[in-house]
Structure 1
């Protein structure tokens, strides 16, 4: 007798929670958000509507199409997306009253890292600790580490080179597509950030693979693939986090209902163990009295050698975001600029001419001083990040409790607001013919206005602290490889696959590589 009654009660609770209450709240409309059109028919009722969109390959492309019609789109019962670049200042600018959304709390661990923390005073404290490590002056002092990784990258690609493609051929032989540029760019950034951040040599470029040691809390170690664990973590979180209150329950449900999610969450645990091993390995060296010129040292001590006395959990959190955001977004940017240059050979030729004029014919590693001010090189980097910003989705912010004004309209407090960089970068009033790869647009008098709309590194007080190191790595590697190699796509019409999680993740980029005649060894 109790069985049917219990089942009925559970069914009523589920019906009330997932159907009746959302419908009631939708029509009650306490914040007045119903006036905005929804991304799909469910987004105004439940966050499951956006979770559905998050499982599609490229949700920001749909959002961009909707924003051509509507300046504001409702992506959840309490979430708004903006498509007018004037909203950038209101949401992300230095004077904004918006703070980091609770989205960051849901994804954070026991201690928030610099990208997660939303309290402004706590953010200022953490940024003060880390600013010296990420300063341009300090990064240029670490140029030798980037040069070392560039040399190892080139040694790896040299081994994979084939004979130059005949001028009359447009399709390389399949067996000559020996270089997965996406993979090698990721090996480069992972090796570079580990050296810069932790004075550790992961050796991915030397080995041609990303096998790495992970460590459990009990001290046992095992071997996993770095990129698989990092990317699986993003996929698992991106598919479930958007319903903040239900996030822990969705994790459990996804593990029970989906073998794919069980796999992704297991790799996510492995990612945590990869980070833990990196931090423990570096800290053990410090305990032995060894000091290095790296990011971790900045966590441990200030410039005067005085201990910062940060909690261990906070140091591990900062290592985690450094090894994640400090590697993958730059690798994606490196992949994208090469892909777009190969799709636009006239632009590649112009870039090679500029780089060749700055470097000696037999120069293998481009010195940063020789290439950092090359205007067309920088324009190519910015244009590729405009078309394919590594992080495409709208970084969520939260309006203050008292509410605030965005685009001249009052938005009630505790509302999630955002603007996608993918959307911002396609405003035709700022970027005419936005789908065209046109580096020269950054060399015109309009470039100052374009910089305002350029959101590849976000903006304001919470803009990416690592943008200097990203430009350093991108500049040195790209100038070095276009000076030394000719690359070819599988065929001129070939398109690279992309899947959006938090970042816009490219698939493989199989290329034929051959040595250029400009080189003299």
Structure 2
């Protein structure tokens, strides 16, 4: 719910008001089902071709895949690009959002195609929300398994004497919060796949294997992140302290193999926007609420394009 509202305000200065309503109208379930179907269909070339054909020729597939948040986002983006301005800021300030920046870029940059503005906003809003939910599930699930970590985060937040609400610049100075979030993303990265790279002319040799030119290659973040040679013998465990080691070489090696935001040369362009949202969300919740989190660890994470961790329930009681 918070992700939908936060992304809507940052992208369009407009909220879905799901936090006010107390629910997301089933958007997360429909979104998860969409990614699961695409994962299954993607295992077969015939099924993939059929699926792509149906998407091009009938609106039924897109309708079945569209959750309420996606429908709201599409309508809001279309309205903004056809002349409707942003909503007035609830704080009485001049409204500023990414849609306005992109529209200005479109007007000034000759190589920028008009359709790119709408596409960028939709991709940011849809993909951003899915990955924010996945990361939040991992973060709070692992706090359920490690209440001592939750206690250390709360202690760090209280000692820091943060603004209310906390500023992002303040949260960047909290090493244990940062390590706890990064460790949650390492253990259960939001994406089970990365963006593929195409082998250039002449081919390439990767770990002793020759890969012909034109081959699409990728690295699975979930597998890479659990390599004990990189992350230690306890790579299967949630341990934020691994990121706080004094061994600079070890820390550099882990960072080089941390693929939650994509590969080195092409990281996720929404990384800093996502970090702003999740750091402010997690800090605000832990500063003001006493969460009671339960995680049924017997339920295995569901491997699809978007990582889903079932069996997580949380109750947030005001302090």
Instruction: Provide the residue aligned with 2:91 in structure 1.
Output: none
Query: Which sits farther off after the overlay, 202-211 or 500-509?
Result: 500-509
5 Å-filtered alignment, 1:249-398, equals: 249-250=50-51, 266-268=63-65, 273-285=71-83, 292-302=95-105, 306=108, 310-359=112-161, 364-398=164-198
Q: Give the C-alpha shift of residue 370 in structure 1.
A: 2.5
Instruction: Give the total of aligned pairs.
Output: 305
- Rounded to whole Å, the distance in 2 between the matches of 1:327 and 1:342 is 23
State yes or no: 1:510 paired with 2:310: no
Partner of 1:464: helix, strand, or coil?
A: coil
- Structure with the bigger RCO (C-alpha within 8 Å, sep 6+) is 1
- 1:301-350, CA deviations, whole angstroms, 9 ceiling, x for partnerless residues? 239x6366744433332122111222221221122111111210111111
Q: Give the C-alpha shift of residue 270 in structure 1.
A: 6.1
Instruction: Provide the residue aligned with 1:422 in structure 2.
Output: 222
Classify 1:300/1:484 alpha carbon distance in 2 versus 1 (closer, same or farther; 3 Å): same
Q: Give the C-alpha shift of residue 408 in structure 1.
A: 4.0
Q: Is the 8 A contact 1:387 1:435 kept in 2?
A: yes
Instruction: Provide the residue aligned with 1:481 in structure 2.
Output: 285
State yes or no: 1:193 paired with 2:7: yes
- Rounded to whole Å, the distance in 1 between the matches of 2:124 and 2:19 is 19
Partner of 2:302: helix, strand, or coil?
A: strand
Larger Rg: 1
- Rounded to whole Å, the distance in 2 between the matches of 1:228 and 1:238 is 15
- Rounded to whole Å, the distance in 2 between the matches of 1:241 and 1:386 is 25
- Rounded to whole Å, the distance in 2 between the matches of 1:244 and 1:316 is 30
Instruction: Provide the residue aligned with 2:237 in structure 1.
Output: 436
Query: Which sits farther off after the overlay, 193-202 or 327-336?
Result: 327-336
State yes or no: 1:238 paired with 2:39: yes
Q: Is the 8 A contact 2:16 2:72 kept in 1?
A: no
Instruction: Provide the residue aligned with 1:69 in structure 2.
Output: none
Q: Give the C-alpha shift of residue 449 in structure 1.
A: 1.4
- 1:461-484, CA deviations, whole angstroms, 9 ceiling, x for partnerless residues? 321011111111121111121122
Classify 1:313/1:237 alpha carbon distance in 2 versus 1 (closer, same or farther; 3 Å): farther
Question: Structure 2: which 5+ runs fail to align?
Answer: 89-93
Instruction: Provide the residue aligned with 1:207 in structure 2.
Output: 21
Question: Structure 1: which 5+ runs fail to align?
Answer: 1-186, 212-224, 255-261, 517-521
Q: Give the C-alpha shift of residue 487 in structure 1.
A: 1.8
- Rounded to whole Å, the distance in 2 between the matches of 1:318 and 1:461 is 20
Q: CA RMSD in A?
A: 3.1
Classify 1:496/1:515 alpha carbon distance in 2 versus 1 (closer, same or farther; 3 Å): farther
State yes or no: 1:501 paired with 2:299: no
Q: Give the C-alpha shift of residue 451 in structure 1.
A: 0.5
Partner of 1:500: helix, strand, or coil?
A: coil
- 1:55-114, CA deviations, whole angstroms, 9 ceiling, x for partnerless residues? xxxxxxxxxxxxxxxxxxxxxxxxxxxxxxxxxxxxxxxxxxxxxxxxxxxxxxxxxxxx
Classify 1:458/1:480 alpha carbon distance in 2 versus 1 (closer, same or farther; 3 Å): same
Q: Is the 8 A contact 1:233 1:265 kept in 2?
A: no
Partner of 1:488: helix, strand, or coil?
A: strand
Please report the TM-score for the alignment, with normalisation by the length of structure 2.
Answer: 0.83
- 1:427-464, CA deviations, whole angstroms, 9 ceiling, x for partnerless residues? 10111111111111101122221101111001233210
Partner of 1:386: helix, strand, or coil?
A: helix
Instruction: Provide the residue aligned with 1:407 in structure 2.
Output: 207
Classify 1:513/1:471 alpha carbon distance in 2 versus 1 (closer, same or farther; 3 Å): same
- Rounded to whole Å, the distance in 1 between the matches of 2:131 and 2:184 is 13
Q: Is the 8 A contact 1:300 1:308 kept in 2?
A: no
- 1:396-429, CA deviations, whole angstroms, 9 ceiling, x for partnerless residues? 3222354222224321122221110011111101
Q: Is the 8 A contact 2:168 2:276 kept in 1?
A: yes
- Rounded to whole Å, the distance in 2 between the matches of 1:320 and 1:372 is 28
Q: Give the C-alpha shift of residue 514 in structure 1.
A: 2.5
Please report the TM-score for the alignment, with normalisation by the length of structure 1.
Answer: 0.53
Q: Is the 8 A contact 2:203 2:210 kept in 1?
A: yes
Classify 1:345/1:276 alpha carbon distance in 2 versus 1 (closer, same or farther; 3 Å): closer
Q: Give the C-alpha shift of residue 368 in structure 1.
A: 2.2
- Rounded to whole Å, the distance in 1 between the matches of 2:122 and 2:157 is 35
Q: Give the C-alpha shift of residue 247 in structure 1.
A: 2.2
Q: Is the 8 A contact 1:299 1:310 kept in 2?
A: no
